[in-house]
Amino acid sequence: MAEIKFWFSPGACSLAPHVLLHEIGVAFEAVTTNVFDGAQLTAAFARINPKQRVPVLALDGQVITEVPAIATAIADLAPERHLMGRTPLDRAKIYEWMSWLSGTLHGQGFGALWRPERFSDDPDVFDSIRAKGRTIIADCFDAIEGKLSGPYSTGSAFTAADPYLLVFYRWGNGIGFDLPATHPHYTDFARALVQRASVAAAMIAEGIADQALTDDPATRSTQGSIS
């Protein structure tokens, strides 16, 4: 087995591959790089990932970035776990989920909401960009609600797409969406997922288990993260 090193920020999109590492039960070194804390985005980290983002996975020193690529690499470490599904169609569907979650919901939606400066140099239009981000997020949540109908996003078993969907469920509640009230399929999916041992283990490791999922809107504000 390769030597595995993994950089994450608590509650960030890195939670998804972090769950996958726990799911396959390998030994790995986890490095907390809190992206809320600029001081942790060091020059040393920039040498590892010049994009200055988490997650980062290193396999025997070979650095891999981007959630879909990292998820694929982790799945390939334990092919018997079928984290990329059991059929070519499953695999395509999982890439469909991950590409859309990464590019549209995360990059466009949460990117515009939390990082409007990525879309314009003019601070006067930031509020408008943030509003557009929130609309994109709402549209994505509605699409997710329409696609989910059980405990797994693809096929009849847990796959790499599932913990990625959990990341955005948590963020959505953190930014004031009332998903338990408005999106019952997505909520049932998320509640089932946090019961899974690998998900619980990753959330404990990230120090966010106490923020798991709650019906109390007052505590949901702590669930947001950074894009």
Ligand X SMILES: N[C@@H](CCC(=O)N[C@@H](CS)C(=O)NCC(=O)O)C(=O)O
Interface residues with ligand X (CB under 6 A) are 9, 12-13, 35, 52-55, 66-67, 102, 225-227
Q: How far is the CB of 76 from ligand X (least distance, A)?
A: 17
Cα-based distances in Å from 161 to 15, 67, 119, 182: 12, 10, 27, 22
Q: How far is the CB of 11 from ligand X (least distance, A)?
A: 8
Nearer of residues 105 and 190 to ligand X, judged by Cβ: 105
Of 67 and 161, which CB lies nearer to ligand X in the complex structure?
Answer: 67
The least CB distance from residue 95 to ligand X, in Å, is 13
Nearer to ligand X, 67 or 75 (CB): 67
Q: Cα 88 vs. chain centroid, distance in angstroms?
A: 23
Cβ–Cβ < 8 Å for 31, 6: yes
Nearer to ligand X, 101 or 148 (CB): 101
Residues with Cβ within 8 Å of 64's Cβ and at least 6 positions away in sequence, in order, are 56, 57, 58, 70, 73
Q: What is the nearest approach in angstroms of ligand X to the Cβ of residue 64?
A: 10
Closest to ligand X by CB, 76 vs 215, is 76
Between CA 3 and CA 15 the distance in angstroms is: 20
Q: Considering beta carbons, is residue 55 or 116 the nearer one to ligand X? A: 55
